[in-house]
Amino acid sequence: MTTSRFYISTPIYYVNDVPHIGHAYTTLACDVMARFKRLDGYDVMFLTGTDEHGQKVETAAAAAGLDPLTFTAKVSKNFRDLLPAMNISNDDFIRTTEPRHILSVQEIWRRLVANDHIYLGKYAGWYSVRDEAYFAENELVDGIAPTGAPVEWVEEPSYFFDLSKWQEPLLAFYETNPDFIAPNSRRNEVISFVSGGLRDLSVSRTSFKWGIPVPDDDAHIMYVWLDALTNYITAAGFPDTGGETYQKFWPADIHMVGKDILRFHAVYWPAFLMAAGLEPPHRVFAHGWWTNEGQKISKSVGNVIDPLELIDTYGLDQVRYFLLREVPFGNDGDLSRTAIISRMNNDLANDFGNLSQRVLGFIAKNGNAKVPTPGLFSDADQAILRLGEELLARTRTAYDNQAFNKALEGVWEVVSAGNRYIDEQAPWALRKTDPERMATVLYTLLEVIRRLAIVMQPVVPGSADRMLDQLSVPADARDFAHFGTNHKLTPGTDLPKPEPIFPRYVEAE
Ligand code: ME8
């Protein structure tokens, strides 16, 4: 049997600054997706990394008084260090200054030249260093880029990629691959942009040096987006297209990106790949942006959110849960203190945490600290067991659409049903009158909690693990192959002393 594979990537982050909530968010979404697929039996490759060339990084290095190599190594490390702090399970970390990547980008270039898609000309127009993007005169709004970034006039010899010829092939590609761009609203946006016509794209620069040299013409370095996008295929082993990794993992399943960089991924990238005779990825998913207490996040306002500080204040799994639960993935969202505390206290502490703590605490006190032995299951027991059983398939459908909030809403329906069930069945009242029935109710609840903890692993890996520890579920029985009734809890198994898993947020005095 061949295992299915799943390749997911984050954007590679510019090393001009420290990591912020935007970086943490994209990486987290990929992590949750990667963890889900691993638990579901896929062979997963999860890639993240840093984008280290271009004018923006060169300028940041100069401002820090460092040469670009020293500077990029230092800042790239900050991004790498964020990963364990957020419990990110990436399989690879790519830096665009690595030899494997330089080799790969130069090979892509050679193929574009060999296929006659690159020609030498002269660029004269506006450039935004902040966006690392070219803008036409008629795109400017009051003399600045539509993104709000300042632009500078650039006039220099440049190689061009014949993007104008790719309008029809791209539209045909979107048509035959309706799932390529998600969510759907973004797909329409891209189609309408491409339908409006495409201009050839300047793909080299001569006015600065920090980039990958154009093969056979050292006066030019490559445009940073051609360099950066190629990272996804470098990590899949390119140029060795016969290699095992390439054969297995390319084309990628999902490039996760912020909405601001969708055009590069959904227009330029498939055009470059098709022009080089390579397959485009399966899907580009554009997520929305966070505001901070209702305000746009920006360095000049000084309201940039440090993900490490957030984790310090509220806890890692709390932050992971909040970011994925609060807004439909793809929409913009607001990060507010009240909203985080409410999710933390209501959803995690009162609903989910309390369900497991009530049941495990009661068993520890009244059930010899063992998995109870159930009798016959009543209709009510069977109904809640069935809800738990159906949860995986429902969650899988949501994950297949990157609808993380929907997946979590589905989980919480079962959590609420569990809390209602325990109130209705009132095992504490059965302790004296009908201990056998009490055992059946508690066993039913433990089975529901086991299922909840298994499907929650991708979002709150640490907490779900602790919950499964408290249920004495062995480490090798926590993947989705062990979700079913065949792997239900064994009566008589010893249970450790339960500890609360999701603390309430208490305001400091
Ligand atoms: O764009 N909310 O790098 P970058 C959510 N190097 N996401 C946000 C955000 C916010 N407030 N602010 C920024 C680059 N982001 C390129 C990518 S890939 C081949 C090259 C997101 O460091 C933003 O949408 O600027 C983007 O996905 C990422 O954070 C920032 O990436």
Ligand 1: residues with CB < 6 A are 11-14, 22-23, 25-26, 51, 228-229, 231, 257-258, 260-261, 289-290, 297
Note the pLDDT of residue 509: 66
Is 386 within 8 Å of 323 (Cβ atoms)?
no
CATH 3.40.50.720 fits 337-487, yes or no: no
Reported for 441-444, long-range contacts at CB under 8 A and 24+ positions apart, including other chains, are 441/381, 442/359, 442/362, 442/363, 442/367, 442/372, 443/371, 443/372, 443/373, 443/374, 443/489, 443/491, 444/374, 444/377, 444/381, 444/384, 444/385
Q: What is the pLDDT of residues 318-349, one digit of tens each?
A: 999 999 999 999 999 999 999 999 999 999 99
Distance, C-alpha 277 to centroid of its chain: 28
Cβ neighbours of residue 48 closer than 8 Å, sequence gap 6 or more: 9, 10, 12, 27, 30, 79, 83, 88, 90, 92, 93, 94
DSSP track, 459-490 = TSHHHHHHHHHHTT--GGG-SGGG-SGGGPPP
Mean pLDDT over residues 21-28, rounded? 97
CA 258–ligand 1 middle distance (angstroms): 6
Q: How confident is the model at residue 2 (pLDDT cuts 50, 70, 90)?
A: low
Q: What is the pLDDT of residues 70-96, one digit of tens each?
A: 999 999 999 999 999 999 999 999 999
Mutate which of 80, 261, 336 for ligand 1 pocket (most atoms within 8 A of beta carbon): 261
Q: Tokens 């030899």 correspond to what residue?
A: 99
Q: Pick the atom of ligand 1 nearest to 260's CA.
A: 24
Q: What length does the chain have?
A: 509
Mutate which of 13, 129, 130 for ligand 1 pocket (most atoms within 8 A of beta carbon): 13
Residue 55 has pLDDT above 70, yes or no: yes
Q: Is 121 helix (H, G, I), strand (E, B) or coil?
A: strand
CA 259–ligand 1 middle distance (angstroms): 8
CA 13–ligand 1 middle distance (angstroms): 7
Is 277 within 8 Å of 250 (Cβ atoms)?
no
CB burial readout 450-462, b (16+ within 10 A) else e: bbbbbbbbbbbbe
CA 118–ligand 1 middle distance (angstroms): 28
Domains 5-288 and 337-487 fall in the same CATH topology: no
Residue 1 has pLDDT above 70, yes or no: no
Q: What token pair was written down for 431?
A: 């302790």
CA 462–ligand 1 middle distance (angstroms): 27
* Domain map (residue ranges) of the chain: 5-288, 337-487
Q: What is the pLDDT of residues 248-296, one digit of tens each?
A: 999 999 999 999 999 999 999 999 999 999 999 999 999 999 999 999 9
Q: What token pair was written down for 55?
A: 């004018």
CATH number belonging to the domain at 5-288, selected among 3.40.50.620, 3.90.1150.10, 1.10.260.40, 3.30.450.20: 3.40.50.620
Q: Is 175 helix (H, G, I), strand (E, B) or coil?
A: helix
How many CB atoms are located within 10 Å of the residue 433 CB?
8
Task: Count CA within 13 A, CB hemisphere, residue 414.
Answer: 30
Q: What is the pLDDT of residues 151-189, one digit of tens each?
A: 999 999 999 999 999 999 999 999 999 999 999 999 999
284/255 Cα distance (integer angstroms): 5
Q: What is the pLDDT of residues 387-406, one digit of tens each?
A: 999 999 999 999 999 999 99
Is 369 within 8 Å of 446 (Cβ atoms)?
no
